[in-house]
Amino acid sequence: MMLHIPAVLTLDEVNYLRLRLEQTDWVDGKETVGAQGAQVKQNRQLPEHAAVSLELGEIVRAAVKRHPTFISAALPLRIVPPLFNAYAGGEHYGLHVDGAIRQIPNSTMTLRTDVSSTLFLCDPDEYDGGELEVVDSYGTHEVKLPAGDLILYPSTSLHQVRPVTRGVRVCSFFWSQSMIRDDARRTMLFEMDQSIQSLRMQLGDSAEVLSLTAQYHNLLRMWAET
Ligand code: NI
């Protein structure tokens, strides 16, 4: 499932992150990628272990953890500290798949990448190109969102970032290990949860709504890894 979640960050949060990022030293994005990715990756990133990365990443992580749609769609068990990247002057990131396992910085823990997220920090009219393209069995999907909006997609997908030919594209990106490893199951639970919430708004806690809620939790109980 690909899902666009609007306004995950407030305008104030976006502006604060952008101001801080402008005052920060970026490094070559090849430093944080495996062998396949390094051949096709051309961008800049904040160093993963830098204090500023962890501090700014925490603002993004706190925002997604309090966002009910993100929680419902990703059902996160763990979220890596969000990272930041920038593309300009033709920089791009060719077709690749993200590594399955990531080390969590400053810890001995690892995380299985189930759900990938990109949070846009620039508006689409600030740069040309820079579309995120995600390939799945339904075709290729092009994404370029307003500042503060997030796209999530299964980490199993091939994807790329098209060359940025004008302006600068700055985003935050991160991975979640979901309690539900399988994308199809995660999608079913999301659709069910959204429908239950809509029914609850219309009908209140009717017997049927309570029954569906119980089934949702029983499926989660059956499938969740915690
Ligand atoms: Ni990627």
Q: Are 57 and 91 contained in the same domain?
A: yes
pLDDT digits (tens, 9 = 90+) for 16-69: 999 999 999 899 888 777 777 777 889 999 988 889 999 999 999 999 999 999
pLDDT at 87 over 80: yes
Contact 181, 154 (CB under 8 A): no
Contact 43, 92 (CB under 8 A): yes
Number of domains in the chain: 2
Q: Are 211 and 167 contained in the same domain?
A: no
Cα 198 to ligand 1 centre (Å): 33
Average pLDDT, the chain: 95
Please tell me the predicted confidence (pLDDT) of residue 37.
Answer: 75
Neighbours of ion ligand 1 (CB under 5 A): 98
Cα 98 to ligand 1 centre (Å): 5
Residue 104 or 130, more confident: 130
Please tell me the predicted confidence (pLDDT) of residue 35.
Answer: 74
Residue numbers of the domain that contains 130: 3-178
Q: Are 54 and 122 contained in the same domain?
A: yes
Q: Are 71 and 123 contained in the same domain?
A: yes
Q: Are 166 and 111 contained in the same domain?
A: yes
Q: Are 17 and 110 contained in the same domain?
A: yes
Q: Are 217 and 129 contained in the same domain?
A: no
Q: Are 29 and 137 contained in the same domain?
A: yes
Q: Are 107 and 188 contained in the same domain?
A: no
CATH number at residue 31: 2.60.120.620
Residues contacting residue 198 through CB under 8 Å, at least 6 positions apart: none
Residue 121: band (very low, low, confident or very high) from pLDDT cuts 50, 70, 90: very high
Cα 2 to ligand 1 centre (Å): 14
Cα 97 to ligand 1 centre (Å): 6
Please tell me the predicted confidence (pLDDT) of residue 108.
Answer: 92
